[in-house]
């Protein structure tokens, strides 16, 4: 065996080890990305009470009311009627 063919075999072996190492790390990373959150899911799951749902519904209604108010005020401001827009903001009605 000559020196050139020995170096070629060594380079080929190193490149194959690199490919296999990359493949192995990818498999381990994929497994950990799925298994780790699944194992700690029980820390984040809690029972939801009816009062929690009611509070969230109230918050949703308030936000939707504010969105309607801001949309109507912004359309009035774009139309150039500043007075009614300020009146709507001070009244805050839905």
Same structural domain, 40 and 53: no
Q: Could you read off the pLDDT of 1-46 as tens digits, one per residue?
A: 555 687 888 889 999 999 999 999 999 999 999 998 888 887 778 8
Q: What pLDDT does residue 64 have?
A: 93
In three state form, how does the secondary structure of 2-44 look? CHHHHHHHHHHHHHHHHHHHHHHHHHHHHHHHHHHHHHCHHHC
Contact assessment for residue 88 and residue 75, using Cβ atoms and an 8 Å cutoff: no
Angle at 45 between CA 61 and CA 32, to 5 degrees: 125
For residues 47-57, average pLDDT: 93
Query: What residues contact residue 89 under an 8 Å CB cut-off, 6+ apart?
Result: 69, 73
Task: Mean pLDDT check: name the lowest of 20-34, 49-63, 65-79.
Answer: 65-79
Same structural domain, 55 and 87: yes
For residues 42-65, average pLDDT: 91
Same structural domain, 61 and 91: yes
Q: What pLDDT does residue 71 have?
A: 85
**Domain count across the chain:** 2
Domain range enclosing 70: 49-94
Residue that is written with structure tokens 């020995």 in the block = 6
Q: What pLDDT does residue 26 have?
A: 96
Calpha distance 89→80 (Å, rounded): 16
Same structural domain, 2 and 34: yes
Please report which confidence band the pLDDT of residue 94 belongs to, taking 50, 70 and 90 as the band edges.
low
């Amino acid at each position: 065996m000559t020196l050139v063919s020995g170096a070629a075999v060594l380079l080929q072996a190193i490149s194959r080890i690199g490919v296999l190492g990359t493949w192995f790390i990818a498999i381990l990373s994929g497994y950990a990305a799925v298994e780790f959150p699944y194992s700690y899911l029980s820390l984040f799951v809690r029972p939801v009470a009816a009062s929690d749902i009611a509070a969230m519904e109230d918050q949703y209604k308030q936000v939707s009311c504010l969105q309607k108010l801001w949309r109507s005020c912004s359309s009035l401001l774009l139309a150039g009627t500043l007075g009614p827009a300020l009146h709507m903001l001070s009244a805050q009605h839905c």
